[in-house]
Amino acid sequence: MNKIKKTSIIILYISMSLLLVKSINQYVVKTDYFEIKKINIKGNNFLKDETIYKLINNKINHNILDLDLKKLKSKINKNDYIHSSKIYTLLPSTILIEINEIIPLAIFKNNNKKYLLDSNAKSIEADYNALNYYNVPIISNINNHSEKIKVTELLKMILKNDESLYLSINHIVMNNDEINIHLSSNTKIIINTNKTKNELAILFEFIDNISESKKITSYKYIDLTVKDQIIVKEMI
């Protein structure tokens, strides 16, 4: 009898505890103490705050404890200009969203539309605002994804090893087995499409060797397509 009574007390205690937890949960969800009053956004340079608000359906006045952060993050990351994001809840009433935007390396045209080419060789259709915001080289005659990958790797290597050289690139022409890099100084650098890594290494060494006496802009063209040679012609 004592055992049954003890069991009943335990069941009653558990039931009351669950009821209390449920009541507290209902109170927390309904109280305005945990309503979102502020959304801080960091890391967005091209995208405006208003764009991010729209992506998450502006959660102001929603209960912060009732948020599905995974779902919100998925919505944010669907934007083509966002590479990744992180969301933090700062109790009791603030959300922090950290944005990691894409890094466009170039612009190319296809079927009368212009696209940004990012560091993962992904194509993003560019609107008027994007074309005016991103000051990147223009690529001509790009015909397939394989060429996108090759020119992306080429630009990433240039940007990593010589940022000033990357910034001086005006446009790039894909020409069968060659990549013609045209600088704003009218210097043309010719590289073999299938040997970009080796030929860029030679180019960087060449630039280092001439840096004390000349600049790369002193040359009309620099041809790296001939094995074990650098063919150059100086500006007149």
Residue 210: predicted pLDDT: 86
Residue 49 CA to residue 95 CA, distance in Å, equals 13
pLDDT in tens, the chain (236 residues): 566 666 666 665 676 666 555 554 555 556 678 889 999 999 999 999 999 999 998 788 888 888 899 999 999 999 999 999 999 999 999 999 999 999 999 999 988 899 999 999 999 999 999 999 999 999 999 989 999 999 999 999 999 999 999 999 999 999 888 999 999 999 999 999 988 999 999 999 999 988 777 889 899 999 999 988 899 999 87
Residue 160: predicted pLDDT: 95
The residues, ordered by sequence, that sit 6+ positions from 143 with a Cβ below 8 Å of its Cβ are 174
Residue 220: predicted pLDDT: 95
Residue 223: predicted pLDDT: 96
Residue 155: predicted pLDDT: 96
Q: Where are the alpha helices (DSSP H) in the chain?
A: 2-30, 49-55, 69-77, 128-133, 145-161, 163-167, 196-210
Residue 231 CA to residue 220 CA, distance in Å, equals 11
Per the listing, tokens 């599905």 go with: 68
Residue 26: predicted pLDDT: 56
Characterize the bridge pairing of strands 219-223 and 123-125: unpaired
Question: Tokens standing for 195?
Answer: 């040997």
